[in-house]
Structures are given as structure tokens and as C-alpha cells.
């Protein structure tokens, strides 16, 4: 179920302290130690998986349920009007802890946080080429 050298498994076990905000049989949620905004929370499955591709469906469903419960509470507590759910997979995408986790980041007007710089396709044909490539990869 858990890995002895995994930081988040150790947090779930209580070996490493955390500011826990929610826990049930499947899910553990705690404040990120270096938040993008105050109240930034990590929601993690109790069963170890390295990334979302390894997450089993039971835990996935429970994580979504927990996000739906926790995010409104974070918004209320922090006076936020919205939130982002961010989930990084693999180092190139910014994953630094290799135990699946979902970031909930509360958002306020003009909070100065940007997520990505849009780079529109040059033409509809180029966009369709990309869609076709992905559809082929799904076969
Ligand atoms: P990611 O970059 O998506 O893998 O996110 C890992 C997150 O874990 C980062 O936002 C870190 O700030 C956070 N983090 C690392 N160590 C701890 C810790 N001991 N307690 C709480 N959050 C942590
Ligand atoms: Zn783990």
C-alpha cells in the first residue's frame, strides 16, 4: 500500500508532520508547505501510486469526492471566489514528489497568479493535424 521512502506516504503515516485539513479511508489532505496562495492544499490518495496513470479507480473517485468537499471550504475560509485543481505528472511537468497528488489553489481577483501563456494554433489545419495524431495514438 505504502512506500517507506515516499515523502507523502510518510506524511500520511504521521512520521512527518503536516497541517492536515481532511482525512478519510482513502484520502489525506494537508496544506502545501510552499503555497502558490494561502490555503493551497494537497489532496493525496492513501494508497501509493507514482502518478495519475497508476491511480486506481476507487481512489480516483474518492479523490474527486474529497475535492468537491474540501474546495468550497477552502474558498470560504480564505475568502476566495474560485480555485484551480492542478495535477503534475513526471519531472518535465513539474512533478517533484512521486506520489500522486492534486493541488487545490484558491483564487482571488488580481491575485497575480498565471497558469500558462496561450500559444494558439496558426491554422485550423494544424490544430486538426494534432487531433489526428492523438486519435491515432489512442488506437
Ligand atoms: P509537485 O511539484 O506537483 O510534485 O508538488 C509537490 C508539492 O509538495 C510542492 O508544491 C511542495 O511545496 C509540496 N511539499 C513538499 N514537501 C512538503 C511537505 N513536507 N509538506 C507539505 N507540502 C510539501
Ligand atoms: Zn507514497
pLDDT in tens, 120-139: 999 999 999 999 999 999 99
Of 31, 40, 94, 96, the residue with max ligand 1 atoms within 8 A of its CB, to mutate for a pocket test, comes to: 96
Q: What number is the average pLDDT over the span 48-77? A: 97
Of 16, 21, 32, the residue with max ligand 1 atoms within 8 A of its CB, to mutate for a pocket test, comes to: 32
* pTM greater than 0.85: yes
Q: What number is the average pLDDT over the span 109-121? A: 95
What is the band of 3 on the pLDDT scale with cuts at 50, 70, 90? confident
- The residue count of the chain comes to 139
Q: What is the mean pLDDT of the chain?
A: 97
Express as a percent the part of the chain with pLDDT over 90.
97
Q: Is the pLDDT of residue 2 over 90?
A: no
Q: Is the pLDDT of residue 98 over 90?
A: yes
| Cα–Cα distance list, 17 to 9, 23, 35, 66, 103 (Å) | 12, 14, 16, 21, 18
Q: Tell me if residue 59 is catalytic.
A: no
Amino acid at each position: 500500500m505504502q512506500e517507506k521512502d515516499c515523502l507523502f506516504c510518510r506524511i500520511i503515516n504521521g512520521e512527518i508532520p503536516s497541517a492536515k485539513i481532511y482525512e478519510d479511508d482513502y484520502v489525506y489532505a494537508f496544506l502545501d508547505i510552499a503555497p502558490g496562495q494561502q490555503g493551497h492544499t494537497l489532496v493525496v490518495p492513501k494508497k501509493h501510486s507514482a502518478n495519475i496513470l497508476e491511480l486506481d479507480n476507487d481512489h480516483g473517485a474518492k479523490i474527486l469526492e474529497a475535492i468537491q468537499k474540501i474546495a468550497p471550504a477552502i474558498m470560504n475560509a480564505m475568502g476566495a471566489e474560485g480555485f484551480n485543481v492542478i495535477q503534475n505528472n513526471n519531472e518535465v511537468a513539474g512533478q517533484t514528489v512521486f506520489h500522486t497528488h492534486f493541488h487545490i489553489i484558491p483564487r482571488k481577483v488580481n491575485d497575480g497568479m498565471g497558469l500558462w501563456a496561450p500559444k494558439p494554433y496558426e491554422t485550423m489545419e494544424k490544430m486538426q493535424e494534432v487531433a489526428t495524431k492523438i486519435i491515432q495514438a489512442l488506437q
